[in-house]
Each structure stands twice: as C-alpha cells, then as structure tokens.
Amino acid sequence: MRDSTRLTRRAALGLTAAALPLSAAPSASAAPRVVGGERLARDGIQVRGATGLPGKLTARSWLLADAASGEVLASYRAHRRLAPASTLKMLFADTLLKKFARTDRHRVTDADLADIPYGSSLVGIKPGITYTVEQLWQGVFLRSGNDAVHVLAHMNGGVARTVAEMQARAEDLQALDTHVVSPDGFDHPGQLSSAYDLTLFARHGLADDDFRAYCRTRTADFPAGGKKTFQIQNTDRLLTGAWGLGTYDGLIGVKNGYTSDAGNTFTGAATRGGRTLLVTVMHPANGSNAVYEETAALLDWGFDRGSSVRPVGTLVTPLSEGGAPTPAARPAQEAASAPVPAAKGTSSWRLLEGATGAVAVLGAGALALRRRRATTAGTDRKGRHRG
C-alpha cells in the first residue's frame, strides 16, 4: 500500500510539473543579459559581414566601435576584466572635468601630494607653486601625472570621495566591469576594467570639448616655479610619433597607460572621411609599441572595411541620459574574466577611512563601491611603478 501511495504521489508531481505554464519554467531569456549584447561575452573574435582582420593581434582583449552610432564593429573578449593602468584616468576626467573652471587656481600643499603611490608617473608638481586647473589637466592628459590627479582629487574633497564618485559614474555609464580602487589607475589589487568599459569612457569623454582638447594636445609649457616653465609632451605615441612610430593620420586622442600588472593599454580615437572610430587594446604580448601598432591596425581595418560590417554589439547610453538599464550582471564568460581578488595590506591612503559622510552624500550609485584597501605593487622595466 505504501509503495502504491508513493507511486501515485510521484505521478501527481510529474503531472503538476508538466502542467506548469511555460512562463513559470526557466528560460534563456531569464538569464542576465550582457551589457552591449550577448556576443560581447563570447570567447574568440567577434565580427560579422567582413573579413581581413589584422592577423597579428596579441592583445588579451580589444574592441573596435563607431563613435557616433555606438556600434561595436569587432571585438575580442570585450568584457574581460583586466588591470586598466592610466586609461582609467579617462573615467577620472569624465567624473571631475566640469567641477572646476579652467582658469581656477590652486596653490599646492604637501598634503595634496602626500598619498601618491611610490614610483608613480609624475608631471613634476611641487608644493608652494600655484597652478591653474587647465595646467593640472594638462599634467593628467599629457604626462599621465599621478601628482596632478591627486591634487585635483584633493580639490574635489579627497581621494576617498573621488574614488566613490568615479565608481558611481561608472555605474551610470553602465560600465559594470569596472572596479575603482584609486583615481590614478595605479596597480592595486581589485582595480579592474575592460575594453568595453574603457571604450565607453572614451566615447562619453570625447563628447566634451575640454576632454577632447586636452587629449589631443601634443605639448604644453608647465610651471617650474616663479616665471620658469618646462615643456611637457603627450605620451601618446600615435599622436606624437615618438619611439620610432609614425603619427596616425586623423588621431584625436585618447589615453595610454602602462603598469607592471596591466602591461600596456591604450584607447585611441581617429576621424577619417567624417567617421570617428574608437579602439581599445589591452595587454598585448609584445613590446611597448605593440599596443599602438595593434590599435593602428584595427583603425585601418575599420576605416577600410567598416562600411560592410554588421555590428556585434553596441556601446550603451548612460542611465542619466535615458539609457535603458541593463541587468547588473558580469559577463557570462567567467572563465576568461579576471576575478576581483581580495585586497591585502594597507595602501598609502585608507580609501574610505573617515569618508562615510562623503559616500552617503553621493547617493545610490556610490554604494556600489566595494570597501577595499589596496597595496601598491609592480614596477616597470626601469624599476619604477607607473600609472
């Protein structure tokens, strides 16, 4: 009797499950969507409708997009989370650029420079000298100066507040691969972004006239104290033709970076025939010129073949500009995405110490910032840390 009762119950359960409406059953559409389109989470090169991609691309991740339409024309592991180095300064600029007038002046103090990670790239800011905001931004864009970043961050209320605002800005841009630990892009455990997110930062930044002007500036005179100045040159080699590279015709920026953890990273933009293309290349396997060479090769392909390409994804619109929210999910290809490691030790500043009030004021977006502490790590080939 017991056996027959069990059999009857099992049969009833089976009939109940079979009778459930289709909407109650799990489906592929219920799975979290990938920002910009599910193809961007796939492994391997993503391209449709065109051939002839450059054959010697060694980058661990890259993306090519049309700046006007936001269409992603081709990509490779676009959402792979990697250390961004100083390309993260694009997000820093997009977050703070409109907070100060170009003509505002600031006399630098020792406290402004006290929390710069040892070995950072510097433009040469000194305490006691007064700089205009325009000069500070030239230090950020041209020389990737972490000293200029930290002065601006202190003008903004401190490093902790700035980091929180950058994270909130990333959330608004729907750059969900990005985790900000420091404002300068320096190597810290857990500081990550992706080719997709960096391209979002570049696209949105270039819509601003000041951002666009700074990143395309080749040289500038920088204060050295009193009436003395010295010349600084942009470290973007496709813009200046340095290190044996020719300048790229039509290049308009955007930002390069190097650290021992990130290797070389670069987001570049160029305009030809009225069309602007964006390329982000992260961590190529070859030498320091490879990031520029691979960027140039992808730009060439885009301008040559781009009209026949069918998009494999799109650069989404910021939420604050009416963009449709994408479910907050990390890319599907977790195997190819770098995990966020737990930070160890103590950084040269405590990112959130004493900043509770500042974070609270920033609203819900800033709450996405994970409470982490970071340590500086890595040196370049000459024994220096870079940003």
Rounded to whole angstroms, how far apart are CA atoms 332 and 326?
A: 14
pLDDT for position 288: 85
Q: Is residue 22 part of a domain?
A: no
Q: Which range has the worst mean pLDDT, 26-35, 36-45, 67-76, 270-279?
A: 26-35
Question: Into how many domains does the chain fold?
Answer: 1
Count the neighbouring beta carbons within 10 Å of the beta carbon of residue 354: 9
Question: Residue 254: left (phi > 0), alpha (psi -120 to 50), or beta?
Answer: alpha
Residue 72 token pair: 């992603």
Rounded to whole angstroms, how far apart are CA atoms 287 and 284?
A: 8
pLDDT digits (tens, 9 = 90+) for 175-210: 999 999 999 999 999 999 999 999 999 999 999 999
Rounded to whole angstroms, how far apart are CA atoms 91 and 14?
A: 54
Q: Is residue 19 part of a domain?
A: no
Rounded to whole angstroms, how far apart are CA atoms 117 and 150?
A: 10
Q: Is residue 5 part of a domain?
A: no
The CATH code of the domain that includes 315 is: 3.40.710.10
Question: What does pTM read for this prediction?
Answer: 0.80
What average pLDDT is seen over the chain?
Answer: 82
pLDDT for position 312: 97
| Per-residue DSSP letter, 155 | H
Q: Is residue 231 part of a domain?
A: yes
pLDDT for position 149: 98
Rounded to whole angstroms, how far apart are CA atoms 68 and 50?
A: 20
Residue 331 token pair: 């890319």
Rounded to whole angstroms, how far apart are CA atoms 302 and 300?
A: 5
Which span out of 22-36, 41-55, 65-79 was modeled with the highest average pLDDT?
Answer: 65-79
pLDDT for position 387: 58
pLDDT for position 215: 96
- Report whether pLDDT(349) > 50: no
Q: Which range has the worst mean pLDDT, 29-38, 103-112, 121-130?
A: 29-38
Q: Is residue 11 part of a domain?
A: no
Domain that holds residue 228: 37-49+56-368
Burial of 120 (0-12, 13-18, 19+ CB in 10 A): buried
Q: Is residue 259 part of a domain?
A: yes
| Per-residue DSSP letter, 179 | B
- Residue 382 is among the residues annotated as catalytic for this protein: no
Helices (H), the chain: 2-19, 89-96, 110-113, 133-143, 146-155, 159-172, 195-206, 209-215, 237-240, 290-305, 356-361
| Per-residue DSSP letter, 18 | H
pLDDT for position 287: 80
pLDDT for position 247: 96
- Report whether pLDDT(9) > 60: no
pLDDT for position 328: 55
Q: Is residue 103 part of a domain?
A: yes
Q: Is residue 124 part of a domain?
A: yes
Q: How far is CA 149 from the centre of its chain?
A: 16
Asked if 147 and 124 count as a contact pair (C-beta separation under 8 A), the reply is: yes
pLDDT digits (tens, 9 = 90+) for 108-158: 999 999 999 988 999 999 999 999 999 999 999 999 999 999 999 999 999
- Report whether pLDDT(293) > 80: yes
pLDDT for position 153: 98
pLDDT for position 357: 34
- Residue 86 is among the residues annotated as catalytic for this protein: yes
Catalytic site residue from 75, 89, 182, 347: 89
Q: Which residues contact 349 (CB under 8 A, 6 or more apart)?
A: 115, 159, 160
> Which helix or strand (DSSP H or E) is residue 89 part of?
helix 89-96
- Residue 69 is among the residues annotated as catalytic for this protein: no
- Report whether pLDDT(259) > 70: yes
For residue 327, name the pLDDT band (cuts at 50, 70, 90): low
Catalytic site residue from 86, 120, 194, 337: 86
pLDDT for position 307: 79
Greater model confidence, 361 or 195: 195
pLDDT for position 32: 57
pLDDT for position 127: 97
pLDDT digits (tens, 9 = 90+) for 55-100: 889 999 999 999 999 999 999 999 999 999 999 999 999 999 999 9
Catalytic site residue from 61, 75, 120, 144: 144
- Report whether pLDDT(15) > 70: no
